[in-house]
Structure 1
Amino acid sequence: MRAVRSGARGEWKISRPRRRCTSVAGLRVSSHSASTASRFQRARAAFQSQRRERRSVQAVGARGPFSEAYRDRARGSAVSVERSPDAETAAAFAGSWNRQREGSVYTREQFLDWFTPLEPEAFSGKTVLELGFGNGSLLYHMAACQPARLSGVELGDTFERTKANLGEALASELDLHQADLTKVDLGPYDFVYCIGVLHHLKEPVEGFRAVLRHTRARGRFHCWVYAREGNAVIRYLVDPLRRVTSRLPWWLTKWAVALPAAAKYFLYAKLLRALAAVFGESLIGRLPLGAYSLWIAKRGFSFFHHVAFDQLVTPTTHYIDRATVERWLEDPAVDPDSRYVVFRNGNSWKFGGRTRS
């Protein structure tokens, strides 16, 4: 594996040596794709074995080719990354992601919920691209769906943490690129997804156009964004605070602000979950942030703290209404018969479809 410069814009990517390409079921894929699914499974098994043996993933890869390639890529990409209008936001999130424990932040149940109405079978044997992969938490679960090829783009400096989260064996199977997702061009994929990223861009619509640009003809795309609807508490109470905390040192935001805020919301969500057992979820879900609270209450306090820190550390957050989502889906590249919009947990939108042939 090596670091190479991608295109005229100076983006860098972690890349394997090129392999001969063949045609499988009408798709142009690399000759190793037929065995990729089993290799993903072996890689995941190897990573889980490492964790059981209490071996440090960071130490395993500290002197390996990924580490050397990453250092070279990081030095060479500094200028192009800093020129991005979203560089400040990417740096803030990198600070958050790089302080997470190894493994995926999300459970398998959360992963599947984010992608509903799509089923895991929709990704099997496909070429898949994630725009804005953070610390690889979704890549970790997507790999289990056995795609033919799995790629990711991330503007932030999170590659070492991603390697640790995925395990070196699994990370070596992926094509990871550090670049501005609104400007990079990696060619078409069968399935492109962008979860929790568009609403943090200076120009969210440019991010959506990048999703469509990377989706092949008749390919699928899927996105998730914060909704304007159902988020009055966040918009009027939390967002004004975010404008201040995003300018503070990360450690002050995380421990002096996010921690007590997470503790209060943790108690609120757990209380609603207990009340729902008595009065029913349909009734309790009508309370402020009710549906979302019932969903997140399944997780422990560390996840609440992670979510609170994420909310408070970012310089840019948009809350996007349904009319805007529907306007995006009116893009001529989108097949109008394939479009869907789903209101998730009473405070966010899942949407997607297919591109035209």
Structure 2
Amino acid sequence: MSDATANAAATATGSEPGEAQFGDYVALMKPRVMSLVVFTALVGLLVAPGGVPPMIGFTAILFIALGAGASGALNMWFDADIDAVMQRTARRPVPAGKVQAGEALSLGLWMSAISVTMLGLATNWFAAGLLAFTIFFYAVIYTIWLKRLTPQNIVIGGAAGAFPPMIGWAVVTGGVSLESLLMFGLIFMWTPPHFWALALFMKSDYHKAKVPMLTVTHGRAETRRQIFFYTLPLLPVAIGAAFTSIGGPVYLAVALVLNLLFLKGAWAIWRREETAAEADGYAVEKRFFRFSLYYLFLHFGALLVEAALRPYGLGGW
């Protein structure tokens, strides 16, 4: 994405290019996405066996967060043209003309190099390699390749958001285990229903941007069906973590309730008529989307509770 294209995008949105403020550079790193990355990586680190000294743990999370910010900056560099025509993203720093595309690219590349190198030096190179692969996957495999190519973009690309707990686990253990794979699988299988619910009430944005989201290529009815059928394999992955070393009765109880509600919501979306959805402003779909955020947070929160109880002989089985 060239600076000229970014400036043209800013003109198209009615924004005048101006001097960037500190907040614009923060926004470039997608702080809401970064917060999810930090939280799930922190859980992966804290539930891993053995643990690390607090300063090492803090340093690891800091550089994982920096890597997430690098991914966000690279994504905004490349996607400035489509961000400019989507209502949800038009005011992002690059399409709004606050940050030049070249600046976003440079910042993203520098933060990538610093975060990976420093994580490797502070912890281990396996964790650093996972972080490097995550940045590459999000910036290249998802943003540059899949996003504009296939309606399966969010299915495959969702892996980028699923790696952080594996990185946190690897910081402590230096490797991968069933537990870290299940945490990965929970986010990976959650991502399609979560984003397709958003796409149901944001279809016009993706259509204008010519992004082949499932709602655009196959219609809302098929998207509703896919939300339900992707929810089915999510359930055993989410509940299965209860029976590993990081699970226990607290997590099991939380997972059973959350997954029952998630399945009920996915079923309601599948069986819902489009005319009814339009009439009430997609209220059911919006509720499901919001609940999906709590769904993921509470699963990982329950894992933290189990880890906190375990030293007192109360967590786990």
| TM-score normalised to structure 2 length | 0.29
Greater strand proportion: 1
Greater helix proportion: 2
